[in-house]
Amino acid sequence: MKHLVTVGVDGSPESRAAAVWGAREASLREVPLRLVHVIDWPISPAVPRLGRETADRWADEALAEALEDVRRRYPHLEKTTRHLSGRPAAALAVEAADAGLLVLGSRGLGSLVGFLVGSVGMATLVATETPVTLVRVADELGDAGPTRYGEMVVGVDIHEAPDRVLAFAFEEATRRGCALRVIQGWKVPPAQRGFPFIHSDDEREVDRSVGQMLDELLLPWRHKFPSVSVTQNAFKGPASRQLVQAAAGADLVVVGRHLRRSPLGAHLGPVTHAVLHHAAAPVAVIAHG
């Protein structure tokens, strides 16, 4: 396990919330916290009056503010700061390379739940293989102290190899001492979708088969993490809808994204994209094969 939690800081309320959330995570893992600010340099000509000296001052202020907030809440946590320049997504991906987790702030969707993932956040998500957690201001924590953790939720696909996703979810649930809900959606096989009617017995048979496959997938993880209370839900329909509903009362939602690239570049996939934009809890995105 990599012994570091890194947080991207830009002075916004969202990044301050991410710093506090990341500090709690570092405290849980008993590892140092690193706060990173990246100046987007060279600065766009659209803001000609913003020179390097001003940009450096803003960076220092953003880091100092986040560090002071973290220091007040977690005085015994080891903390460092880094002030970099370059393209933020690329620089954050490099900084995440030696970390066990990268934490980013993300704007909420106004009066709606969920995240507004900007271009930097989206580019960073697909540029690193390190797990990334997105946090909103609504997820900001109170003062440090004994915390009662809620249920965690993880979305899996039995037709893939979600070992990295499940490993992250079970390890996090163990740290928190909380229950874990595993969600798997299934669809009617493509060969049957053209039929005007599908017998309900066939659907029940598929449901039983998926449930059994999910049991088999989770069995070694239950043995490896016996302290984690696990519930599982396999159902017909889009996994994203169930994950978003479950996120309403969750402490953290864990989803995966493929490492492989399409001809148009890396992407998050429809389920992860939907969860990011509509979940009411922090979302951890885990890259897997």
Q: Over 74-89, what HEC string results?
A: CCCCCEEEEEEEECHH
Q: Is 38 helix (H, G, I), strand (E, B) or coil?
A: strand
The overall average pLDDT reported for the chain is: 82
Highest CATH level, class, for 1-147: alpha beta
Angle (nearest 5°) at CA 280 between 133 and 80: 30
Phi, psi (rounded to 5 degrees) for 237: 130, 175
- Report the C-alpha gap between 105 and 18 in whole angstroms: 5
Topology match between the domains 1-147 and 149-289 = yes
- What would you measure as the largest C-alpha separation in the chain, in angstroms? 70
Please give the average per-residue pLDDT across 259-278, as a whole number: 71
**More confident position, 234 or 217:** 217
CB count within 10 Å of CB 177 equals: 12
The pTM assigned to this predicted structure is: 0.86
**More confident position, 51 or 123:** 123
Which candidate, 95, 100, 127, places its Cα nearest to that of 261? 127
Every domain of the chain and the residues it spans: 1-147, 149-289
Task: HSE, CB side, 13 Å, CA atoms: give it for residue 182.
Answer: 28
Specify the residue for token string 């986040």.
Answer: 66
Please give the average per-residue pLDDT across 1-25, as a whole number: 89
**More confident position, 120 or 7:** 7
Q: Report the topology of domain 149-289.
A: Rossmann fold (3.40.50)
DSSP element (H, E) containing 183? strand 180-186
Query: Is the confidence at residue 108, as pLDDT, over 80?
Result: no
CB 247 within 8 A of CB 275: yes
Q: Give residue-wise pLDDT tens across range 205-229.
A: 777 888 899 999 999 999 999 999 9
CB 193 within 8 A of CB 213: no
Residue 49 — pLDDT band, cuts 50, 70, 90? low
Q: Give residue-wise pLDDT tens across range 146-174.
A: 566 889 999 998 877 789 999 999 999 99
Q: % helix / strand / coil in the chain, to the nearest 5?
A: 40, 25, 35
CB under 8 A, 24+ apart: contacts of 54-57: 55/85, 56/83
CB 179 within 8 A of CB 173: yes
User: Cis omega before residue 238 (within 30°)?
Assistant: no
